[in-house]
């Protein structure tokens, strides 16, 4: 039995419940009023100071207004390019300790049209220059990494003789680490195939100077003055490109026949051919769209890479760089120093077409912009130091300028840099 609750305890409890709330101290009221006044008066300053503290505290989570879109990782890439680095914008620096990347005599795959030392060029200055981008460095070409990446794969260069020169340069950069009995090179019409047997890899070149079907498609006999390109014919050659993992396209020089280009609307087999003339720019635009359409339909963007090399400049008019009238690249052993130099043989209208077509396309393609950096190199052409396929006349011998080749490039030389840029863009996209 519980003891009875005392009356004193009951009255005490009642009084605590019924007690009136205590009045706020006048001192406390004054203090709170002062704090409120200061907060209103200087609130913006406090927020600014507090905001700076948030910025300076990396451990505090900052509010994010818009999430950044994750950049798509390109196939074969092993790292990111340096932020803000344009590898095509830079300068040439002399680097005798690291250049050339191989010796002409050590690469048996160089065609005699490109072996300048073998054909009597008296100096090697053109071999000692390295491209140095502004604000960053090019990764060094790594032949082992390249071959391991190509294991079980196909790589192909498609285009004209300038792309073939880049192709041969690429082989020269790789072949020395492959045993002699584990590599081979064979040509089958328009297709040349270098095989690295231990890697089950092929590096190929396919002759297609316009990319589309043309009357200049014979890989050996193609010197045609009246050039004709067939519209919508990319599959004529494209069937040979299917299945490649990395492809490098180029086309430019063969379009430079004048201001107009002949386009075949039917077939080369038609008895009466339907031919129209387009401006060179419109004809070139047609080819670029056809190439991108082929890429979209035949290349897996998640597994393959596509490159396009811009126009290779010629140096056929020495007045372009302040030389004498009537001269060209013959006897030129120094480069052009003017960083804004652009030769008259490199049509800016064609570069604009490329920019327009590629800019509108959703097809992922990496543009190798070698034009400006190559424009400085009037010293690097084969000039007269190459195999001549026809005997030279007494008039030609008396005037070397008349037969100097100011289109193609000596190897080793400039085109090795093109492949260093390709390497950089392949692995550090």
Nearest to 403 by CA among 416, 422, 415, 387: 387
* 240 counts as catalytic: no
Contact 100, 411 (CB under 8 A): no
Find out whether 414 and 166 touch, Cβ atoms under 8 Å. no
Whether 237 sits among the annotated catalytic residues: the reply is: no
C-alpha distances in Å from residue 206, one per residue of 158, 174, 217, 229? 5, 19, 10, 17
Which one of 160, 161, 312, 346 is the catalytic residue? 161
Q: Which of 217, 320, 345, 405 is catalytic?
A: 405
Task: Please give the span between the terminal C-alpha atoms of the chain, in angstroms, as a whole number.
Answer: 89
310, 345, 408, 416: the active-site residue: 408
- The answer to whether 161 is a known catalytic residue is yes
What is the separation of C-alpha 10 from the centre of its chain, rounded to a whole number of angstroms? 92
Cα dihedral 254, 255, 260, 266 in deg (nearest 10): 90
What is the 3-state secondary structure of 117-157? CCCCCCCCHHHCEEEEECCCCCCCCCHHHHHHHCCCCEEEE
In angstroms, what CA-CA distances link 293 with 249, 287, 288, 298, 299? Answer: 14, 10, 9, 9, 10
SS3 assignment, position 6: coil
User: What is the secondary structure of 206-268 as a DSSP string?
Assistant: EE-TTSS-BTT--SSS---SS-EEETT-HHHHHTTTTT-SEEEE---GGG-SSSEEEEESS-T
Residues designated as active site: 161, 405, 408
């Amino acid at each position: 039995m519980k003891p009875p609750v005392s009356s004193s305890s009951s009255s005490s409890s009642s009084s605590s419940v019924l007690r009136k709330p205590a009045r706020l101290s006048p001192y406390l009221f004054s203090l709170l009023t002062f704090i409120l006044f200061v907060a209103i008066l200087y609130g913006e300053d406090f927020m600014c100071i507090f905001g700076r503290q948030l910025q300076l505290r990396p451990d505090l989570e900052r509010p994010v207004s818009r999430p950044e879109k994750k950049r798509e990782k390109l196939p074969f890439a092993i790292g990111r390019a340096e932020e803000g680095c344009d590898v095509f914008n830079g300068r040439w620096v002399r680097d005798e300790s690291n250049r050339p990347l191989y010796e002409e005599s050590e690469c048996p795959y160089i065609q005699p049209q490109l072996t300048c030392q073998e054909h009597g060029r008296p100096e090697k200055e053109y071999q000692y220059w390295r491209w140095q981008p502004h604000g960053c460095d090019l990764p060094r070409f790594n032949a082992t990494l390249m071959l391991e990446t190509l294991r079980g794969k196909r790589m192909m260069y498609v285009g004209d003789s300038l792309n073939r020169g880049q192709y041969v340069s690429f082989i020269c950069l790789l072949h020395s680490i492959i045993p002699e009995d584990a590599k081979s090179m064979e040509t089958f019409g328009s297709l040349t195939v270098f095989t690295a047997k231990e890697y089950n890899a092929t590096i190929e070149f396919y002759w297609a100077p316009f990319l589309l079907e043309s009357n200049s498609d014979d890989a050996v006999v193609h010197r045609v003055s009246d050039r004709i390109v067939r519209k919508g014919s990319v599959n004529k050659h494209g069937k040979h490109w299917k299945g490649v993992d990395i492809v490098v396209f180029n086309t430019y020089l063969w379009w430079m026949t004048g201001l107009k280009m002949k386009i075949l609307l039917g077939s080369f087999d038609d008895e009466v051919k339907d031919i129209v003339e387009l401006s060179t720019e419109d004809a070139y635009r047609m080819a670029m769209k056809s190439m991108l359409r082929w890429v979209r339909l035949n290349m897996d963007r998640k597994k393959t890479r596509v490159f396009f090399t811009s126009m290779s400049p010629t140096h056929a008019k020495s007045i372009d760089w302040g030389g004498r009238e009537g001269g060209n690249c013959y006897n030129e052993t120094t480069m052009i120093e003017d960083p804004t130099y652009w030769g008259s043989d490199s049509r800016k209208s064609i570069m604009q077409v490329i920019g327009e077509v590629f800019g509108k396309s959703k097809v992922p393609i990496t543009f190798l912009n070698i034009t400006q950096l190559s424009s400085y190199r009037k010293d690097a052409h084969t000039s007269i130091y190459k195999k001549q396929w026809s005997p030279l006349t007494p008039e030609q011998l008396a005037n070397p300028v008349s037969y100097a080749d100011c289109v193609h490039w000596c190897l080793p030389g400039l085109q090795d840099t093109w492949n260093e840029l390709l390497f950089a863009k392949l692995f550090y996209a």
